[in-house]
Structure 1
Amino acid sequence: MKQLDIGVAGAGPAGLAAALFLSRAGHRVEILERFETPAPVGSGLLMQPTGLTVLAALGLFDTIHALGSRIDRLHGADAVSGRTVLDVRYDAAPGGRYGLAVQRAALFNTLHDAAVAGGITIRTGVNLASVEQRGARAVLRNTEGQEAGGYDLVIDASGARSMLAAGSASAPAIRDLTYGAFWATLDGAGAIYDRNALSQRYDKAKVMIGLLPAGRAAVGEAERVAFFWSLKVADVEAVKAAGLERWKTVIRGYWPDCQPFLDQIGDWEQLTLARYAHRTTLPPYAGRLAFIGDSAHSTSPQLGQGANMALLDAAALCHALANSPDIPSALAAYGRVRRSHVRLFQLLSLAFTPFYQSDSSAIAWVRDRLVSTIAKVPPMPGLLAAIVAGTLIDPFASAGLKEHDWLGERQDGRGLPDGIAVKSRAQI
């Protein structure tokens, strides 16, 4: 395909990754960002083997790996009885995969620095409202109705509340989820927590508290921990009105080890409220407008796939453009290759959510006694590991990717827990 003029709406992980792929493929790319200064939004996230493979394809694996915390398992226990009700280990499936917990700032900075180094134009302070087809061009307009640019292709990576997606022919139906979560990124010094696990405590399905080691935002900084507490969005104001100390008392009662983290929270402003929605833009394109990341699909965060799916979208779209004769053919190919993977993990996220965020005591009882028992019986440990890793079906080949060589890392000691190194063949 000829060199294209491409506008990318949004300077989040999806938009930055897409811009990098397409710029390196020889296209003229510029990013349009609504904030005056691009910045990350949110606390910590769990990079899965899928997202890490995309970063490896961009040559950014070592950079993000140096900032993150290796995660080997997801562990959850009943806060009252202490009984383990969730224990998913990546090594239950073959291949040597693992997760990498990172601060959103680390992921953003890694991609943003690469975009700046690559000379990609980033226009800030541009609030986009709509896109119109004008011949073979897609013309963007801002919230004042002014033209913001004309392109051969526009990629919408502006998130779940995208105005471009809402106004398109593929406008998604949005189902706001009942539960959200308070998040904070805190110091872990002196605290007791598993440094290689996402740890959670539950009281039925109404309470979920979590600790995720999240590495550092930049080399040389102290490691941090992402703390989160699930709650109904409708209850947020009532919780705040009851007071911060009462909220802390509730959490201490469930999980005393959280005290060092609670001591760092002196104001509600330190907590970010995350709201979640289930939405699917079908097809993930309209005219010369393509949707990736949360503007294309979003759901609950139970499987930790959000940023990883967005990075896969970026890789798949670039691959489709590189292997199609024209833009309409490329967009159709992009929709086809992402369809099965996206729908599967949206379905799985919806299915798992009531077990961890709902008012149903019966579902929680089934989770704690039946599901947790079945999860230990082969082949379930391997299947659960593949679900968490995002590899239950292969997402790589159709996106033009080759999965990162996890076992090969052991030749130089990368990817191993702190303090462990493996000699190379030359040293033996």
Structure 2
Amino acid sequence: MKTLHIGIAGAGPAGLAAALMLSRSGHRVEILERFDVASPVGSGLMLQPTGLTVLNTLGLLQPMLSLGSRIDRLYGADAKSGRTVLDVRYDALAGGRFGLAVQRAALFNTLHDAVVAAGLTIRTGVTLTDVRMSGGKAVLVDAEGREAGAYDLVIDASGARSALAAGSTAAPKVRELAYGAFWATLESDGLAHDRHALVQRYDRAKVMIGILPAGSARADDRERVAFFWSLKVADAEAIREAGLGRWKARILDYWPDCAPLLDQISDWEQLTLARYAHRTMRPPVSGRIAFVGDSAHSTSPQLGQGANMALLDVTALSHALDTHGDLDTALAAYATARRNHVALFQLLSLLFTPFYQSDSTALAWLRDRLVATVARTPPMQALLASIVSGTLVDPFKPAALAECDWQAIRTGTQGLSVGPQRAVSA
């Protein structure tokens, strides 16, 4: 592929990673961000072996490991009976895989610092609404109808509510999910918790409370946890009007150990209401636009795959551009490389979500009794671990990635990558 001039919409993790990877392949890139100052949005997230492998190819795994909290287990229990509902352990799989819980700010800061160090352009305060073709170039148009730049290729990494995706010929139908969550990043002082586990409490499928150790935003910061409370988005305003005291009392009734966290919340402004939607763009390309991350596919966060899928998208796109001389062929190859993995995990998320976020009493009953029992059998333990890891189908080979040696990383004996590292065979 000849050197391309690439415009990247969005300075989130997907956009920043795309800029780094494509610039290292020799392309000329610039990022266009709608906010006046590029900054992280949200609380905590899980980096799975998939996303961690991509970060290793960028030479950024070690910084992330130093900031995050290694997660070995996902555990959930019924808030009233204490019955175990979910217990997924990464060690059910061979190879030593693990998850890494991080603050969204830590992932953003690490990628943003690398982009700045590389001298890549970030243009802020640019709200993009459309792309049109002119003279063989993809021309980005801003909210005032002005041309924001002409590019050989546009990468849309602007998220689930992308105007570029909504206006494209491949625009998918959007299914807004009824349930969202309040999130907050809080100090862990005085909190009795497992630093290597995501722990959750449930009341049927209507209530889900979680504590995720999230490490530090920067090397000199204190460690924090991400705290979340699942709720119907339509009920959020009524909950706010009822007051913080009533909301806190309800949580403490379910999970008294949360008191040190709730003591830190004195205003609703400390909580972010996350809304979720299910959508899948097929294919994730339209003309000279490639869609990555949530602009290409979004769903509920139940399987914790969002940022990881975005990083895989970026790597697959970069590999397609590296190995095909024609842009149309490369974009088609990108779509093919990500098709099976995206389709499977979108389906799994759609199937799993009602068991944890819905009004169904029957599904919650099945989850607590039948599903929890089946999940303890040896074949299912490994299957669930591979789902959580994002590796139920091989995500690495289509992107020509060499997966990390997890055992060596755990023991500190693997030399981590300091640049792009791809598998020998595509």
Q: Does structure 1 retain, via aligned residues, the 8 Å contact 2:172–2:279?
A: yes
Cα distance in 1 for residues equivalent to 2:261 and 2:165? 38
Cα distance in 2 for residues equivalent to 1:202 and 1:42? 22
Partner of 1:423: none
CA apart distance, 1:136: 1.9
Cα distance in 1 for residues equivalent to 2:48 and 2:111? 16
Residues 229-378 of structure 1 aligned to structure 2 (within 5 Å): 229-378=229-378
CA apart distance, 1:220: 1.8
Cα distance in 2 for residues equivalent to 1:413 and 1:106? 24
CA apart distance, 1:132: 0.4
Cα distance in 1 for residues equivalent to 2:280 and 2:145? 27
Cα distance in 2 for residues equivalent to 1:192 and 1:378? 30
Go from structure 1 to structure 2 and tell me whether the alpha carbon gap of 1:262 and 1:411 turns closer, same or farther (over 3 Å shift).
closer
Per the alignment, in what secondary structure is the counterpart of residue 229 of structure 2? Answer: strand
CA apart distance, 1:409: 1.7
AA aligned to 2:380 is M
CA deviation vs aligned residue, 1:321-341 (integer Å, no higher than 9, x gap): 001121100110000010000
CA apart distance, 1:358: 0.6
CA apart distance, 1:282: 1.4
CA deviation vs aligned residue, 1:336-377 (integer Å, no higher than 9, x gap): 010000010000001000100011111101000000000011
Per the alignment, in what secondary structure is the counterpart of residue 35 of structure 2? Answer: coil
Per the alignment, in what secondary structure is the counterpart of residue 76 of structure 2? Answer: strand
Partner of 1:196: 196
Partner of 1:382: 382
CA deviation vs aligned residue, 1:306-334 (integer Å, no higher than 9, x gap): 00000000000000000112110011000
Partner of 2:116: 116
Cα distance in 2 for residues equivalent to 1:410 and 1:389? 16
Cα distance in 1 for residues equivalent to 2:55 and 2:135? 35
Cα distance in 2 for residues equivalent to 1:105 and 1:413? 28
Cα distance in 1 for residues equivalent to 2:375 and 2:27? 47
Partner of 1:173: 173
Per the alignment, in what secondary structure is the counterpart of residue 185 of structure 2? Answer: strand
Go from structure 1 to structure 2 and tell me whether the alpha carbon gap of 1:181 and 1:25 turns closer, same or farther (over 3 Å shift).
same
Q: Does structure 1 retain, via aligned residues, the 8 Å contact 2:74–2:89?
A: yes
Cα distance in 1 for residues equivalent to 2:408 and 2:223? 26
| 1:216 corresponds to 2:216 | yes
Per the alignment, in what secondary structure is the counterpart of residue 75 of structure 2? Answer: strand
Cα distance in 1 for residues equivalent to 2:151 and 2:142? 15
Cα distance in 1 for residues equivalent to 2:83 and 2:132? 56
Q: Indicate the RMSD between aligned Cα atoms, in angstroms.
A: 1.0
Partner of 2:63: 63
Task: Give me the TM-score of the superposition, normalised by structure 1.
Answer: 0.96
Residues 16-31 of structure 1 aligned to structure 2 (within 5 Å): 16-31=16-31
Larger mean CA deviation between 248-257 and 281-290 belongs to 281-290
CA apart distance, 1:221: 1.1
Cα distance in 1 for residues equivalent to 2:242 and 2:413? 50
**Gaps spanning 5+ residues in structure 2: where?**
415-426
Cα distance in 2 for residues equivalent to 1:164 and 1:7? 13
**Gaps spanning 5+ residues in structure 1: where?**
415-428
Cα distance in 1 for residues equivalent to 2:295 and 2:133? 19
Per the alignment, in what secondary structure is the counterpart of residue 392 of structure 1? Answer: coil
- What is the percentage of aligned positions where both structures have the same residue? 71
AA aligned to 2:338 is R
CA deviation vs aligned residue, 1:233-276 (integer Å, no higher than 9, x gap): 00001111111100000000000000000000001000000000
Q: Does structure 1 retain, via aligned residues, the 8 Å contact 2:2–2:325?
A: no
AA aligned to 1:51 is G
Partner of 1:146: 146
Partner of 1:422: none
Partner of 2:41: 41
AA aligned to 1:78 is D
Count residues in correspondence. 415
Residues 71-82 of structure 1 aligned to structure 2 (within 5 Å): 71-82=71-82
Cα distance in 1 for residues equivalent to 2:109 and 2:241? 36
Which portions of structure 1, spanning 4 or more consecutive aligned residues, are displaced by more than 6 angstroms?
Answer: none
CA apart distance, 1:135: 3.3
| 1:185 corresponds to 2:198 | no
Go from structure 1 to structure 2 and tell me whether the alpha carbon gap of 1:239 and 1:217 turns closer, same or farther (over 3 Å shift).
same
Cα distance in 2 for residues equivalent to 1:110 and 1:344? 30
Cα distance in 2 for residues equivalent to 1:80 and 1:410? 36
CA deviation vs aligned residue, 1:138-187 (integer Å, no higher than 9, x gap): 00000000000000000000000000001110111100000000000000
Cα distance in 1 for residues equivalent to 2:413 and 2:17? 27
CA deviation vs aligned residue, 1:106-136 (integer Å, no higher than 9, x gap): 0000000101111110001000000001232
Cα distance in 2 for residues equivalent to 1:223 and 1:344? 34
Cα distance in 1 for residues equivalent to 2:61 and 2:30? 24
Per the alignment, in what secondary structure is the counterpart of residue 111 of structure 2? Answer: helix
CA apart distance, 1:413: 6.8
Partner of 1:420: none
Cα distance in 2 for residues equivalent to 1:179 and 1:298? 14
Partner of 1:158: 158
CA apart distance, 1:412: 2.3
Cα distance in 2 for residues equivalent to 1:87 and 1:247? 27
Go from structure 1 to structure 2 and tell me whether the alpha carbon gap of 1:255 and 1:282 turns closer, same or farther (over 3 Å shift).
same
Cα distance in 2 for residues equivalent to 1:264 and 1:413? 40
Cα distance in 1 for residues equivalent to 2:322 and 2:136? 19
